[in-house]
Amino acid sequence: MTDHPADLQRLINSVILPGFVGTTAPQWLVRALANGLAGVVYFSHNIDPETPGQVAALSAELRAANPTAVIGVDEEGGNVTRLEARDGSSVPGAAVLGALNELDTTEAAGRAIGRLCRDAGINLTIAPVADVNTNPRNPVIGVRAFGADTELVSAHTAAAVTGIQHFKVAACAKHFPGHGDTVADSHMDVARVELSMDQMHHHHLPPFQAAVQAGVAAVMSAHIIIPELGEAPATLNPAASALLREMGFEGVLITDALDMAAVRATVGPGEGAVLALLAGNDLLCVGNPLNAYTTGRDDESCYVEVYDALFTAVTSGRLPQETLRRAAARVQALAQWSAGDLSPASPEQLAAQEKYDDVDWVSVSARACRTDSLGKRPVLSGAGRVTLLDARTGHNMAAGPTENFLATALAHYALDSLHASELSSAELEVSLMQSQGTVLVLTDSLAAPEQQDTLELALSVAPHAICINAGLAPETPSSTATIHAHGFSRVTAQAVVRVLETA
pLDDT grade, residue 398 (50/70/90)? low
59 and 147 within one domain: yes
Quick check: is 355 in a domain? no
Q: Find the CATH number of the domain harbouring 476.
A: 3.40.50.1700
Quick check: is 5 in a domain? no
- Whether 256 sits among the annotated catalytic residues: the reply is yes
Quick check: is 25 in a domain? yes
481 and 410 within one domain: yes
Strand partners, 225: 192
pLDDT for res 340? 82
Please tell me the number of Cα atoms within 13 Å of 412 on its side-chain side. 9
204 and 74 within one domain: yes
How large is the average pLDDT for residues 156-179? Answer: 97
Does residue 346 have a pLDDT over 90? no
Q: Does residue 146 contact residue 152 with C-beta atoms inside 8 Å?
A: yes
Domain count along the chain = 2
Compute the distance between CA of residue 313 and CA of residue 316 in angstroms, rounded to an integer: 5
Catalytic residue among 156, 166, 175, 187: 187
Q: Which of 338, 369, 398 is the last residue of a domain?
A: 338
124 and 264 within one domain: yes
Q: Which of 304, 323, 338 is the last residue of a domain?
A: 338
pLDDT in tens, 287-331: 999 886 666 679 999 999 999 999 999 999 999 999 999 999 999
241 and 107 within one domain: yes
Quick check: is 352 in a domain? no
pLDDT for res 265? 86
Strand partners, 228: none
Does residue 92 have a pLDDT over 60? yes
In the chain, % helix, strand, coil (3-state, to 5) comes to 45, 15, 45
Quick check: is 356 in a domain? no
Instruction: Tell me the three-class secondary structure of 302-344, residue by residue.
Output: HHHHHHHHHHHHHHCCCCCHHHHHHHHHHHHHHHHHHCCCCCC
Does residue 2 have a pLDDT over 60? no
Identify the CA nearest to 16 among candidates 181, 223, 257, 291.
Answer: 257
114 and 187 within one domain: yes
Compute the distance between CA of residue 13 and CA of residue 11 in angstroms, rounded to an integer: 5
What's the domain range around 472?
A: 361-502
Quick check: is 163 in a domain? yes
pLDDT in tens, 6-22: 799 999 999 999 999 99
pLDDT for res 1? 38
253 and 319 within one domain: yes
pLDDT for res 101? 98
pLDDT for res 126? 98
Q: Does residue 284 contact residue 258 with C-beta atoms inside 8 Å?
A: yes
How large is the average pLDDT for residues 19-26? Answer: 97
95: amino acid identity, one letter:
A
Compute the distance between CA of residue 303 and CA of residue 124 in angstroms, rounded to an integer: 20
pLDDT for res 376? 82
Catalytic residue among 256, 299, 372, 390: 256
Q: Which of 269, 304, 338 is the last residue of a domain?
A: 338
Contacts of 158 (CB under 8 A, 6+ apart): 210, 211, 213, 214
369 and 330 within one domain: no
379 and 257 within one domain: no
Q: For residue 228, count other CB atoms closer than 10 A to its CB.
A: 12
- Whether 204 sits among the annotated catalytic residues: the reply is no
pLDDT in tens, 411-428: 999 999 999 999 999 999
pLDDT for res 118? 97
241 and 186 within one domain: yes
Does residue 347 have a pLDDT over 80? no
Quick check: is 416 in a domain? yes
139 and 270 within one domain: yes
- Range of lowest pLDDT (173-182, 198-207, 379-388, 450-459): 379-388
- Straight-line distance from the first to the last Cα atom of the chain, in angstroms, rounded to the nearest whole number: 69
Contacts of 27 (CB under 8 A, 6+ apart): none
| Full-model pTM | 0.94
> How far, rounded to the nearest angstrom, does the alpha carbon of residue 457 sit from its chain's CA centroid?
33
> How far, rounded to the nearest angstrom, does the alpha carbon of residue 60 sit from its chain's CA centroid?
24
Quick check: is 398 in a domain? yes
Please tell me the number of Cα atoms within 13 Å of 267 on its side-chain side. 17
377 and 235 within one domain: no
Q: Find the CATH number of the domain harbouring 317.
A: 3.20.20.300
Buried b vs exposed e over 59-79: b needs ≥16 C-beta within 10 Å? beebbebbebbbbbbbbbbbb
Runs of H (alpha helix) within 120-254: 150-165, 197-199, 206-213, 238-246
pLDDT grade, residue 503 (50/70/90)? confident
pLDDT for res 139? 83
